[in-house]
Structure 1
Amino acid sequence: MPLIQVKVFKDELSTEQSSEIISKITDVVTQATSEKLRDATWVVIEEIKDGQWGVGGKAL
């Protein structure tokens, strides 16, 4: 079962955008592998609060 995790800043995506991302990622996975995996493909969108990301030692 494929599990794809997408991490975004909190409140960056609407519910509709999240649904579209989930749908399109699932489509790409099944196109690259097998349609049989569609029902077993998990996509998780995780929102991260400001200050809980970091790049180059600096919180974003």
Structure 2
Amino acid sequence: MPFIDIKVIAGVFTPEEKQKMVEEVSEAVIAVEGEALRPVTHVVITETPSGAWAIGGKALTAEDVQTKRAA
């Protein structure tokens, strides 16, 4: 049973974008593992509060990520 946990910063992605992530990541896993695992492929999107995710000691905010997405 594949279990995929997608971690994102809260406030960055719309519900539609998160649904697209779920669908496309599921399809990628099923393409490798086989169609028989579709009913047991679990995907969860975990949202971390803005400012509570850090890289290299620097906390990132939703605004930081949105700026990177726009670039």
TM-score bucket of the superposed structures, by smaller chain:
0.7 to 0.9
Residue 13 of structure 1: CA displacement? 1.1
The unaligned stretches of length 5 or more in structure 2 are 61-71
Structure 1's unaligned 5+ residue stretches are none
SS in 1 for 2:45: strand
More helix by share: 2
- Aligned counterparts of 1:12 and 1:57: Cα–Cα separation in 2: 20
Aligned residues: 60
- Give runs of ≥4 in structure 1 deviating > 4 Å: none
SS of equivalent to 2:36: helix
| Residue 33 of structure 1: how far off its partner (Å) | 1.0
Cα RMSD, aligned residues only: 1.0
CA distance in 1, matches of 2:44, 2:4: 6
Percent identical: 37
TM, length-normalised to structure 1: 0.88
TM-score (norm 2): 0.76
